[in-house]
Amino acid sequence: MRIGMLTGGGDCPGLNAVIRAAVRKGILHHGDEFVGFMEGWRGVLDDVTMPLTLETTSGILHRGGTILRSSRTNVKKIPGGFEKCAEVLASHKLDALIALGGDDTQSISLALAERGVNCVGVPKTIDNDLSGTDACFGFDTAVSIATEAVDRLHSTAEAHNRVIVCEVMGRDAGWIAVTSGIAGGADVILVPELPIDIEDVCRLVKYRREHGKKFSIVVVAEGAKLPEADQVVLGTAVDSFGHARLSGIGQVLAEEIEKRTGYETRSVNLGHTQRGGTPSAYDRMLATRYGVAAIDLVHAGKFGQLVVLRGTEITHIPIAEAIAKTRTVSEDLLAVVKSLQPLAGAV
Ligand code: F6P
């Protein structure tokens, strides 16, 4: 078979591991040929490709980023975009297209699938918020990076008797905040799922001071909001899918905490460090399993499907189901957070 592959949306560690595994399985077991489209859907629209062979995908398992590069190109916004995509894909005589991406990327796959393109999806988002799968690769690596940062912030916060607010990624779901916050022993964890009660946050910080702890660590997801307020954004620009650039809730909180408590407070925004660098062993494994499973789906003729992890098993679900809604942090994890920080508004 001739199979196209692309990576769309924000990158995350493990994309190269998926590409390598799919190419290996396809070539070694089926004699498949691969075409890599560069920079997500842009590469399809502009017909910019690279060969994906055993040679070009060798030595990339441990590398972050994506050899196919990525973009947030929205085909829906381009007049005649879907027709152009279908034309380019047909010119390459492809039997299938595997798109690695989150809900935005998969929404384009779905639209193409409805136009007769044989699409298979691989779930990718650092935010871990795609429905129908228990995990997206890249999330484990991001959590390790954020946890290490929280660990490191402890000693400097302690040395100066400070509050440090650490902002992590998580646009609509607080998976990274909750996981790194619990693993790193943060005093307060704030997520997009619940409005921030600043009174409660300050009460919790003060309570810890009154009970012997002279510093505090607050972990906040970039998408968390104060009640009645919008998400804090950087500038006015939105990407082609309409998403604003989230950034700054950490600094807003730091200023508010310092004003209300009198404790010296700093903020740090981990930003894209969470998406960079080498994937963890877990993410390499998950990504490899997804890559193999995507080829299996293609050869089984199961199109319009997304490979997913359910428990410990790799299976698949319709792409439409996966993008129907955001997978927010589960109640049981929120309950763990509440057990550790029992004030009403702070999760
Ligand atoms: O969607 C994943 C994500 O990493 C979000 O957590 C974050 O808000 C956004 O992408 C950042 O996007 P960009 O890399 O385009 O700045």
Q: Where are the domains of the chain?
A: 2-137+279-322, 139-276
Mean pLDDT of the residues in the chain:
96
Quick one: 139-276 is in which CATH superfamily? Phosphofructokinase domain (3.40.50.460)
Atom of ligand 1 nearest to the CA of 246: 8
Q: Enter the pTM of the model.
A: 0.96
pLDDT tens readout for residues 108-147: 999 999 999 999 999 999 999 999 999 999 999 999 999 9
Q: According to CATH, what is the number of the domain 2-137+279-322?
A: 3.40.50.450
Q: Are 154 and 208 in contact (CB under 8 A)?
A: no
Task: Check for a shared fold between 2-137+279-322 and 139-276.
Answer: yes
The residue to mutate among 106, 125, 269, 327, having the most atoms of ligand 1 within 8 angstroms of its beta carbon, is 125
Q: What distance in angstroms lies between residue 247's CA and the mean position of ligand 1's atoms?
A: 10
Here the tokens at position 241 are: 């899918």
Cβ proximity of 109 and 119 under 8 Å: yes
Whole-number Å distance between alpha carbons of 269 and 164: 11
Q: Which residues line ligand 1 (CB under 6 A)?
A: 10, 125-127, 169-171, 222, 245-246, 275
What does the pLDDT read at residue 326? 95
pLDDT at 344 over 90: no
**Residue written as tokens 């319009």?**
304
Residue 265: burial class (beta carbons within 10 Å; 0-12, 13-18, 19+): buried
Residue with CA nearest ligand 1 atom 15: 10
pLDDT in tens, 197-213: 999 999 999 999 999 99
- The Å distance, Cα 316 to ligand 1 centre, comes to 25
pLDDT digits (tens, 9 = 90+) for 211-262: 999 999 999 999 999 998 999 999 999 999 999 999 999 999 999 999 999 9
Q: Tell me, what DSSP letter sits at residue 207?
A: H
Average pLDDT (155-164) is 98
- In the reported structure, the alpha carbon of residue 10 is separated from the centroid of ligand 1 by a whole-number distance in angstroms of 6
- Predicted confidence at residue 343, as pLDDT, reads 65
Residue 346: pLDDT band with limits 50, 70, 90? very low
- pLDDT higher than threshold 80 for residue 48: yes
Residue with tokens 């990624």: 169
Is 239 among the catalytic positions?
A: no
Exactly one of 32, 103, 104, 127 is catalytic; which is it? Answer: 127
- Beta pairing, strands 96-101 & 49-52: unpaired
Region of 96 on the Ramachandran plot (φ > 0 left; ψ -120 to 50 alpha; else beta): beta
CA-CA distance, 301 to 28, in Å (whole number)? 19
Query: What integer pLDDT is reported at residue 342 of this predicted model?
Result: 72
What three-state secondary structure class fits 218? strand
Provide CB contacts within 8 A for 207, sequence distance 6+. Answer: 343
Integer angstrom CA distances of residue 324 from 215, 232, 240, 259, 327:
42, 25, 19, 41, 10
**Average pLDDT of 262-270?**
98
User: Does 28 score more than 60 pLDDT?
Assistant: yes
**Ligand 1 pocket mutation, candidates 72, 168, 171, criterion most atoms within 8 A of CB:** 171
